[in-house]
Structure 1
Amino acid sequence: TNIPPHNLGEVIDATVALIQNPEADVKELMRHIKGPDFPTGGIVMGYEGLREAYETGRGVIRVRGRAHVEQTKSGRSRIVITEIPYQVNKARLTERIAELVRTKKLTGIIDLRDESDRSGMRLVVELRKESAPQVVLNQLYKHTQLQESFGIIMLALVGGVPRVLNLRDALAGYVEHQLEVVTRRTRFELDRAQKRAHILEGLLVALANLDEVIALIKKSRTVPDAKEGLMKRFKLSEEQAQAILDMRLQRLTGLERDKVKEEHQELLKEIARLKEILADENKLRALIVEELLEIKKKYADQRRTDIVPDYEDLEIEDLIADEEVVVTITHSGYAKRLPITTYRTQKRGGKGVTGMNLKEGDFVEHLFVASTHHYIHFISNRGKSYRLKVYELPEGSRTSRGQALVNLLPLEAGEKICSVIATRDYPEDAYLVIATRRGMVKKTPFRSYDSPRKDGLIAIRLQEGDEVIDTRLTNGESDLMLVTREGQALRFSEKDCRPMGRDTQGVRGISLSPGDEVIALGIASEDADLFVITEMGYGKRTAISRYPRRHRGGKGVKTIAKTSEKGRVAGARVVKENQELMAVTVEGVVIRVPVDDISRMGRVTQGVRVMSLREEDRVASVAHLASREGLEEKREEDEEEE
């Protein structure tokens, strides 16, 4: 058997509840008994193990020591352990922590000391300046006895037979035992009271006939003669006669005689009360309740062990600090994360990310601040969705490229990432809109992509020869813009697309002429422009308001006056002031294009030269340049000042 200690007050409350309501079930009794209450304090993690133990008689609970974080004057943090789990040896716990530090399994600790005294336990764990206290504490829970499992087995002898009891059965067994004990005690007290009353009745007879009793005793030759004479004369029992003979002379005073009478009256009342208890089980139960509450009043104390909601077994994420980092993903598919302390606030007008050792023709296409516990969704041209936690990206330096996504995701040959979305959660009102090269669009509730599968999910069922060109996260109320290679643009409400499941083809977004294809998807907002650039480097931007909203599935309207010398449309993006674009050519030349430098023109115009190309070169695509506006690399002097 392994029954943990409980709080006396809670156990009494539950027992009283069961006595007053014998039909009470385990759930009702658990309103009174919250769980074990260990003399060493600590914290019980979760209710499921307790519920199982109380309902079945067997269960496992997790018990944590109690610890808090203190800040030192030097700016360091320390973890102070003030309580440890039940039956855990403090010296062994200290040795285990020291061993983990020596073997470098715990790298954030620089000192460990025991400051315990008569006022209580105080085990101090000093941390490195850069250490995250919660991460180190979680590591202590994971690797030491600061968190322990306690197996509950409520095994007891019932009628001489061992049985595993649930909470109600255990308390009911105790109540039955108390009924038996109190019944026996009451019978014993009744017998004792009746015997005493019998003696007092004899004394009262003697006191009422005092002179005659004295004369009879004086006439008797021996004590047996006197006893026999009293029994015959006053019809007394042998015990009563003996009590009269044993009575001291001082009991003959008037005051003592009154005390005998008073004691006799009290005994008669007590005898009547005891008989009522034995005759009525309700009164017997009430007596038990009264006595239990008196014990609670005298001896119950406050609960020492807290019970908190459970969190699943510690995963790797519990050991990763939840902190903001900067994520960069390049056009060629290299990703990394780096501490946000690498950057500092900068005035408006940043020039984008610099200082990275990128391959020729590559540039940072995505740069954003996210928590290490955020998700990053990657949508591939093959219509699959992959997901990583930010902390799963390699941590790089300011100048490193990062790691290729093909080494982080299970991409197939020829599969490439065409869209990146970062999120912490999956709002009910968020949708993922996907556009394909052949003009199909699909809107799916974003929560449908909340899956831990490492091999990816089907985001869209593609027709043979089709591929995903881009995606957008929307609120269900947006206008969408599709742009084609031949210079057609269609603006329509996403409400025209009903939400679908992941494994579907979607619906017709735009009708394409033979040889045409979709090259861009954007969210059309009234304060934005549509930028287009041709294969020969001619481009322009046009206010979104110049594009009328049409129904989904139409051919759209002209967005550029196409001529053979300017070529077909190579790329398009919905842009706003102060943004920058990067145009990439077939030969790998990358040119930065500030949006503010691009002329705003009408819809059906040819545009102006945006970039000069060599004779055989052509523009291949255009993308947003990730802006680091508001961020700037921290100078080395800042680190030296620390």
Structure 2
Amino acid sequence: MSSDIPDGPEDQPTVPAANVERVRVEDEMEQSYIDYAMSVIAGRALPDVRDGLKPVHRRILYAMHEMGVSSGSSHRKSSSVVGETMGDYHPHGDQAIYDTLVGMAQDFGMRYPLVDGQGNFGSMDGDPAAAMRYTEARMSSISEELLADIEKDTVDFQPNYDDRLTEPEVLPAAYPNLLVNGSTGIAVGMSTKIPPHNLGEVIDATIHLIDNPDCSVEDLLHLEESPGPIKGPDFPTGANIVGRNDVHKAYKTGRGRITVRAEYEVDDEDGRIVITELPYQENKARMVERIAEDVNEGKIEGISDLRDESDRDGVRIVVELKRGANVDVVENQLLEHHLESTFGVINLSLVDGQPRVLTLKETLAEYVDHRKEVVRRRSQFELDEAEDRAHILEGRLTAVENTDDVIELIQDAEDRGSAKEALKSEFDFSEDQADHIVRIQLGSLTSAEVEEIETEYEEVQERIERLEEILGDEQELLDVIKDELAEIKDEYDDERRTKIIEDTGEVTHEDLIPEEDCVVVITEDDYIKRMPVDKFDPQGRGGKGIIGADPKEGDRVHKVFRANSHDYLLCFTNQGQVYRLKTYQVPEMSRTARGNHIRNVIEGIDDGEEITAVVNTDDFESDECLTMVTRDGYVKRTRTTEFENIRSTGIIAASLEDGDELVDVEVTTGDQDLVIATEGGMTIRFDEDEAREMGRTARGVGAIKLQEGDAVTGLVATDEHDERALLTVTQNGYGKRTKLSEYRCQSRYGKGLIDIKTGGRNGPVTAVKAVTEEDHLIIMSEHGQIMRIRASEISTVGRNTMGVTIMELEGNDGVASVTVVPAPETDDEE
């Protein structure tokens, strides 16, 4: 016979070509992988729609059933149960089997636990169960309902893994366990996640479907227009399901996402939030840790203490609030990050060995079909038994009627076999009847015994008639199923634990933040905080102010600016980057607090990068520009539209030469003048058109010729009709106001005019602002002193003057920054 296989060594046998099958490697790999995937799907990962169990759960329960470890027996060591299961039915690792056993015993994981555990079976904190040699287990009473009538040929059996024993392919399941206890599993390329439900609701829905096989999914749900039996999932840990629409979608399609919210109480009087129920499968200890981390990092504000006071009676997590904290804000922060979770429903299970995503109605219909098969097979089994018994009783009755002849015939027989043959011949007994009669005692032939036999015979005949009625009439069979389900409900039904609450719409963090003017303080070492403006009362010129920040040793206040708590801000840094920030994201703190590091507020900001200018984006118009000046005297204008989409890590606002820094930014309209001031007291005013519009990455053009050692300190936008004054404040606490009209326009890139004398007492210029008589100023010193004064208290004088004392400073302290705030409506201008 010819062969395509190359010849091998002489000591190797020649393989006939007919025994070799040529296949493509990719085809073989594909088929092998499919076989493996289906093995995992059917043999390990997915539950059967009929009993709601995976093979390992089914094998554990059947092993306990065979061991006699029922709800009425004493507990047995978990290691014994695991050993029997592994040795007879489930040849996998003992730890995997024990983990499954533990899961079936945890009342916080399973709505109706199938195992009654004794010992440490883990906790909601994620603590593992004790080793199997320390814990004990037995079946719970409700799990026995899954195995009821299994000896009555109700389900098919299959050989176990070594063909020594047989095991059930599925359990009879007297209630719809798949929906009652739910299931979770991950297979190859698919997963299932079915939530648990209230047993009473599921049974009512099953009965409703039996009575109304053409009903819709909506008919099974609790809706306003049709209050059906199933309200929604019922988790063992309680909590709340938010909204009904997502729940109904999951039931109608087999897939959906359900929002689950913790149960908690807000105690306004004591200033605390007490959490009493958690979303399903939430790790309590980890959740408490995450809340504490967010508090420490400043992501959640207003919490002073956090305690887990939970015990065996239930969950109790106490969140203590700081005095004056906004309870609504803290509540919303907790909801947004910790107290709500999403349960993704995937109602996937095995139907006839194949994975299918089912609707609620399809799931119940598959269960009803299974239960019909179970009851039919059970009825047939019981009918066969009853007919066998009736047959025996008929023989006994015949024997009783002919007692003397039967006794004489048996006495005359040589042996038992001859007696049986004689009885069969004389009275037309069957083999079973004759065998039974030769074995009965004479005492059973008394008149009293005869009456009992006749009574039993009548009862057996009635039983036969009933069973034949069930088997012959589909409606009678369904009535049996309904009656048995009702009995299960009466025995095991309990109150619903999970409440359904209406979805009132998303309440954002911003909705709960009070809208107020704030002062934001930033230090050189990048610590940031905010404080309400109304915390600072106006003082007279020349005062010392009060503590507004407490920088650590070596740190100094760098910048102070005003913003509304709801403003979106563009924060420009000295390195030419710009970041977007909501004011309320800056943590609100007391006057004496240092603040949080800016990296906790602005993602991506680098070490050494300092915020030098802040612009409010709420008032942007598409035809406006952001005009920027640098320390070395460059200016450029860029359209505001180029700053509409800013990444969380920031974008480039301006390209800088080595050693240069961005110092100030103003929003300009295109028809304004720019006033640029320097530390040396010089100013220049020119038409902004002289600085053409450029892209974000441009450097800009020269704005002012700086004298050696001088640097730009600020920028103001104005026009010819502006009646405001230019406020100039120096580092040593002196300043003045001068009408903007006194600063004549020049050409760009000139030397400018003298604004204020900086020699001697004044020191270099720290800030320039355009102010009205009604404005208030908040002045911050490098050491953290803060002072609020009315702009009108500062004298209006001409250019090239010394100015007056604005703030009294101590030691080597200096003015760090100045910001303008509108006068309050109730301000008294005395």
What TM-score, normalized to structure 1?
0.52
* Cα distance in 1 between the residues matched to 2:538 and 2:352: 81
**Aligned residue runs from structure 1 range 537-548, under 5 A:** none
Q: Deviations over 1:99-128 (max 9, x none)?
A: 222222222222222222222121222221
Aligned to 1:140: 334
Higher-RCO chain (CA-CA 8 Å, sequence separation at least 6): 1
Q: What is residue 279 of structure 2 aligned with on the other side?
A: 85
Question: Residue in 1 aligned with 2:241?
Answer: 44
Mapped contact 1:76–1:128 kept (Cα < 8 A): no
> How many residues matched?
372
Q: Contact 1:54–1:167 at 8 Å: present in 2 too? A: yes
Q: Is the CA contact (8 Å cut-off) linking 1:142 and 1:314 kept in structure 2?
A: no
**What is the 5 A alignment of 1:402-421?**
408-411=618-621
Q: Paired residue for 1:23? A: 214
How far does residue 407 in structure 1 lie from its aligned partner after superposition?
5.2
CA contact (8 A) 1:76 1:129 kept: no
Q: Tell me which amino acid in the other structure corresponds to 1:94.
A: V
Where 2:281 maps in the other structure, the secondary structure is coil
1:63 partner letter: V
Shift, 1:355, TM fit: 5.6
Name the CA distance, whole Å, in 1 between partners of 2:370 and 2:540: 80
> Among residues 442, 446, 470, which one is paired with 1:277 in the alignment?
470
Partner of 1:58: 255
| 1:6 aligned onto 2:205 | no
Correspondence 1:586-625 to 2 at 5 A = none
- The separation in 1 between residues aligned to 2:773 and 2:334, in whole angstroms, is 52
Q: How far, CA to CA, are the matches of 1:406 and 1:112 in structure 2?
A: 36
Quote the offset at 1:133 in angstroms: 2.9
Q: Distance in 2 between matches of 1:255 and 1:65?
A: 68
Identity %: 47
RMSD of Structure 2 on Structure 1 (CA): 4.0
Secondary structure of residue in 1 paired with 2:232: coil
Give the SS at the match of 2:350: strand
Shift, 1:48, TM fit: 2.1
Structure 2 letter corresponding to 1:112: L
Structure 2 vs 1, CA of residues 244 and 87 (structure 1 numbering), >3 Å: closer, same or farther? same
Once the two structures are superposed, the pairs formed by residues 206-355 of structure 1 within 5 Å of their partners are 206-313=399-506, 315-317=508-510, 320-321=512-513
Cα pair distance change 1:589/1:63, threshold 3 Å: closer
Query: Which residue pairs with 1:131 in the alignment?
Result: 325
2:503 is paired with a residue of what secondary structure?
A: coil
**In the alignment, is the contact (CA less than 8 A) between 2:237 and 2:280 conserved in 1?**
yes
Q: Sort the Cα spacing of 1:106 and 1:316 in 2 relative to 1 into closer, same or farther, 3 A.
A: closer
1:43/1:65 contact within 8 Å kept? yes
| TM-superposed deviation, 1:41 | 0.8
CA distance in 2, matches of 1:62, 1:327: 35
Residue 16 of structure 1 aligns with an amino acid whose one-letter code is: I
- The 8 Å contact of residues 517 and 533 in structure 2, kept in 1 or not, is answered as no
Q: Deviations over 1:482-507 (max 9, x none)?
A: xxxxxxxxxxxxxxxxxxxxxxxxxx
Quote the offset at 1:315 in angstroms: 2.6
CA distance in 2, matches of 1:588, 1:315: 37
Alignment of 1:363-442 (within 5 A): 408-411=618-621
* Gapped regions of structure 1 (runs ≥ 5): 329-336, 344-353, 359-371, 374-388, 398-402, 416-453, 456-586, 591-624, 633-642
Matched, 1:34 2:228: no
For residue 236 of structure 1, report the CA deviation from its aligned partner: 0.8
**1:230·1:236 contact (CA, 8 Å) conserved in 2?**
yes
Question: Structure 1 residues 203 and 306 mapped into 2: Cα distance closer, same or farther (>3 Å)?
Answer: same
| Aligned equivalents of 2:419, 2:375: Cα separation in 1 | 41
Alpha carbons of 1:588 and 1:300: their partners in 2 closer, same or farther (altered >3 Å)?
closer
The answer on whether the counterparts of 1:193 and 1:270 sit within 8 Å (CA) in structure 2 is yes
- 1:139–1:395 distance in 2 versus 1, CA, 3 Å: closer
TM-superposition CA deviations, 1:249-291 (whole Å, max 9, x none): 4322332221111111011111111111111111111111111
Does structure 1 conserve the Cα–Cα contact (< 8 Å) formed by 2:517 and 2:532?
Answer: no
Deviation digits for residues 459-481 of structure 1 (CA, Å, limit 9, x no counterpart) = xxxxxxxxxxxxxxxxxxxxxxx
Q: 1:194 aligns to what?
A: 387
Supply the AA of the counterpart residue of 2:460: L
State the Cα deviation string for residues 13-33 of structure 1 (Å, max 9, x = none).
111111101110011111211
Contact 1:57 1:166 in 2 (8 A): yes
Q: Which runs of 5+ in 2 are unaligned?
A: 1-191, 222-227, 519-529, 542-564, 567-581, 591-612, 626-643, 646-770, 775-822
Find the aligned partners of 2:437 and 2:316 in 1 and give their Cα distance. Answer: 69
Deviation (angstroms), 1:412? 6.7
Distance 1:245 1:147, change over 3 A: same
Shift of 1:134: 3.4
Alpha-carbon distance between aligned partners in 2 of 1:225 and 1:236, rounded to the nearest angstrom: 14
Say which SS state the counterpart of residue 208 (structure 2) adopts: helix
- How much has 1:356 moved relative to structure 2? 10
Q: Which has the higher mean CA deviation after the structures are superposed, 206-215 or 269-278?
A: 206-215
SS at match of 2:448: helix
Q: Are residues 1:168 and 2:364 paired?
A: no
The 2-side partners of 1:274 and 1:280 are apart by: 10
Residue 2 of structure 1 aligns to a residue whose secondary structure is strand
Please, which moves more after superposition, 218-227 or 97-106?
97-106
Structure 1 position 231, deviation (Å): 1.2
**Residue in structure 1 matching 2:306, options 77, 100, 112:** 112
Instruction: Give distance in 1, aligned partners of 2:236 and 2:494.
Output: 11
Q: Which residue of 2 aligns with 1:100?
A: 294
Taking structure 1 as reference, are residues 196 and 340 closer, same or farther at Cα in structure 2, changes over 3 Å only?
A: farther
What CA distance in whole angstroms lies between the structure 2 residues aligned with 1:235 and 1:341?
112
Alpha-carbon distance in structure 2 between the residues aligned to 1:393 and 1:410: 22
